[in-house]
Amino acid sequence: MNSKNNIRNNCDTGETPPRRNFLKTAAVGAAFAGAMLMGAGQAQAATTWKIQSVWDAGTVGYDLFEEWCNSIKEKSNGELIFKPYPAKAVAADNNALFDAVRNGVLQGMNPFTLYWSGKIPASVFLSSYPAGPDQPHQWDTMFYSLGMLEKTREIYEKYGLFYVGPIQHDANIIHSKKPVNSLDDLKGMKIRVPGGMVAEVFQQFGVSTVSLPGSDIFPALEKGTIDAADYVGPAVNYELGFSQVTDYIIFGPPGVMSIYQPVDLMDLTVNLRAWKALDPKLQQLVEDEVRNYSQKHYLTIQKRNIEAMEKFRADGDQVTRLSQSDLEEFRRAAIPIWYNWANKDEDAKAIFDMQLEYMMNETVGYVDEEDLKAAGVK
């Protein structure tokens, strides 16, 4: 009886009965918990991209790449995560890497752009080539000021890919068992170089060229099955032990480490569907970050190169240099081969035409009409 009176009195006075009060409190608690769960779900909805580099784990290149990828989460306020993988971790070789990004198994890759010359002929002109533009700033100028980035993206879209931007790496250099002080000294040598245009130009000087994967270079030099080998720059080449199996390092004239691949560019390329699904503000972040990373990557490797050259010298290696006249002769031999590659398809020609116009501009002055006539292309 008393409890009924209490209920009635509560109703009469407008006070909430204890059971209703409990249900109201429970409902508010449930709503709050639901909001918390929803918030947690939103926090977990970050976009994650798996990106494989062609750098081997443990090299300065991969250390830099991994550090950069790991920084993206904080820079994007948790909205975008780059999960890095070293060479062969997901895709076992370059062909598999290309297909894995096209098919969305990986969302991105960090390759040497030249790797796709057999798939995308224009890519042979998206990284330095024999006696072409030989300064990093020239490549940044062509990409970011002269329209080459936009044209490259247009080409890559045909393959279901989005080319985010170039990443400055280094010059490629040759380590030799014997000194090379002129182009004449190359005659009769067996040298590991990249295929394609590079091999074709070296063959003009009596070189027997060999294509080997990076992991096979050291044993080939050690056994003497090749006389010399190109690979990347001093920092990584020292890590790979080249000082143990060669005595000489071939450079170009002062200021030019390499006459055949002086600006060996890497890039960030991503799956086109993944790129289009990304919020525009995150797209802009990624583009900006690639440019920032390019500078850091390049400058860090240049510092390591200086340190590595001291180590090469301490191990007894000597630098030999080709002359400016050698470089000019090399360019004359290369020009017809430039045109051969430019004529492979309309995209390759479009990129090359941009570059030739730049090289013939007097601010650069690498090539003039007389050079083209002498090479038989005019």
pLDDT tens per residue across span 283-332: 999 999 999 999 999 999 999 999 999 999 999 999 999 999 999 999 99
Residue 374 has pLDDT above 80, yes or no: yes
> 205 or 7: which carries more pLDDT confidence?
205
Residue 92 has pLDDT above 80, yes or no: yes
Encoded tokens for 45? 């909805």
> 103 or 215: which carries more pLDDT confidence?
103
**Residue 151, pLDDT score:** 98
Give 15's DSSP letter: P
Encoded tokens for 369? 């009409």
Name the residue type at position 342: A
Q: Model confidence at 45, in pLDDT bands (50, 70, 90)?
A: confident
CA 106, 111, 113, 116: dihedral to nearest 10 degrees? -60
Q: Which of 35-49, 128-142, 280-294, 358-372 has the lowest mean pLDDT?
A: 35-49
Give 358's DSSP letter: H
Q: Is 261 annotated as a binding residue?
A: yes
Residue 272 has pLDDT above 60, yes or no: yes
Angle between helices 346-360 and 324-342 (to 10 degrees): 150
Q: Is 153 annotated as a binding residue?
A: no
* Cβ neighbours of 42 (radius 10 Å): 9
Strand order in the sheet with 80-85: 80-85, 47-53, 108-110, 264-271, 161-170
**Residue 288, pLDDT score:** 98
Which stretches of the chain are assigned E, i.e. beta strand?
47-53, 80-85, 108-110, 161-170, 174-176, 190-192, 208-210, 228-230, 248-251, 264-271, 318-321
Set out the domains of the chain in order of their start, with CATH numbers: 47-168+263-307 (3.40.190.170), 173-261+317-343 (3.40.190.10)
Dist CA 75 CA 78 (whole Å): 8
Residue 346 has pLDDT above 50, yes or no: yes
CA distances from 17 to 24, 25, 30, 358 (A): 11, 12, 20, 85
Dist CA 312 CA 243 (whole Å): 6
CB 331 within 8 A of CB 131: yes
Residue 51 has pLDDT above 50, yes or no: yes
Q: Model confidence at 12, in pLDDT bands (50, 70, 90)?
A: very low
Q: Is 231 annotated as a binding residue?
A: yes
Q: Is 192 annotated as a binding residue?
A: yes
Q: Is 331 annotated as a binding residue?
A: no
